[in-house]
Structure 1
Amino acid sequence: MDSGTNGPQSDNPVVRLSFELALAVLAYVEELEAARRYVVARQLLRCGTSVGANVREAQHAESRADFVHKCKIAAKEAEETDYWLQLCAQAPAYPTPPTPLNETLLSVRRLLARIIISSKANAT
C-alpha cells in the first residue's frame, strides 16, 4: 500500500476517511452483487469510490479555485453515495448497508463541507 502523504495511512483526515469509505463501499457492493442487485451495485461503486479519487486529485490542485472545485465534486459524489445507500436501506430484499459505512460517509461529508467553506472564506 502507498505510504506517501496521499496514501491510506495519510495524516490528512479527509484523504484517509475517503479511502476507508471506498474500501467499505467495495465490501458492500460485493454483498449487493451476491444478492444479484447489479445495477445499484454498479452505481454505488462508481460514486462511492469517486469521492476518494476526487479528494486525492484535490491534493494536487493547480489553484485554490481548482482545489475547491474538486472538493465540491467529491461532496456531490458523497451525496449520490448517500442516496444509493438510503435506497438500499429502504428497498425490500436489499442487504442493509452496514452502519460503519454510513458513519464513515457522514464523516467524509462533514469534513468536505468544512473544507469547502473554509477554503472559500480564506480565498478573499
Structure 2
Amino acid sequence: MKESPLKDKSYAFAIRIVRLSQYLQNHKKEFILSKQLLRSGTAIGALIRESEFAQSKADFISKMSISLKEANETAYWLSLLKDPGYINEKMFQSIQPDCQELIAMLVSTVKTSKQPH
C-alpha cells in the first residue's frame, strides 16, 4: 500500500477535520463535540497507515474495519454538529461527501480483503 487514493484521501480528510475542530473551538467555543470529531476523524487515516504494516491479512482487515467504524462515527459527529447549528449546511455539505467517500472506499477494501484468493 505505497501511495494509494485511500491513504491520500484519508490524510487530506484528517487535515480538514483538524481545521474544522480548530474553527469550532476558536469561533464557536465548542470543545466536547469538536474533540470527538477530531479523534474519530484523524483515526481513519492513522488506522489506514497502521494497516500498511499489518502482521497478517486478518490484522489488515481488522485495522481497515476499525477505520471504517471511525469514519462512520465521524459522519455521526458531523451530523450532530450541523443539526444544532455549530456548522452550517454549506460547511456540512463541503465535508460530508468526503466522509461518505471514505466510508465507501473502506467498505470496498474490507469486502475485497475478505474474499478468498
TM-score, normalised to structure 1, is 0.86
What is the one-letter code of the residue matched to 2:65? K
1:103 aligned onto 2:97 = yes
Check the 8 A contact 1:29/1:44 in 2, yes or no: yes
Shift of 1:24: 0.8
Note if 1:18 corresponds to 2:23: no
Give, in angstroms, the shift of residue 100 of structure 1.
3.1
Instruction: State the distance in 1 between where 2:60 and 2:43 align.
Output: 15
Aligned-partner Cα distance in 2 for 1:109–1:122: 22
For residues 17 and 93 of structure 2, the distance between their equivalents in structure 1, rounded to whole angstroms, comes to 12
Aligned positions of 1:1-124 closer than 5 A: 5=2, 10=3, 12-34=4-26, 35-92=28-85, 94-96=86-88, 97-122=91-116
1:102 Cα offset (Å): 1.2
Aligned AA for 1:43? Q
SS at match of 1:24: helix
Structure 2, gaps ≥5 residues long: none
Q: Secondary structure at the match of 2:45?
A: helix
CA contact (8 A) 2:6 2:102 kept: yes
Question: Matched residue of 2:87: which SS?
Answer: coil
| 8 Å CA contact 1:20, 1:104 repeated in 2 | no
**TM-score with structure 2 length normalisation?**
0.90
CA distance in 2, matches of 1:100, 1:52: 19
| TM-superposition CA deviations, 1:51-79 (whole Å, max 9, x none) | 00000001111111000000000000001
Q: Percent sequence identity over matched residues?
A: 30
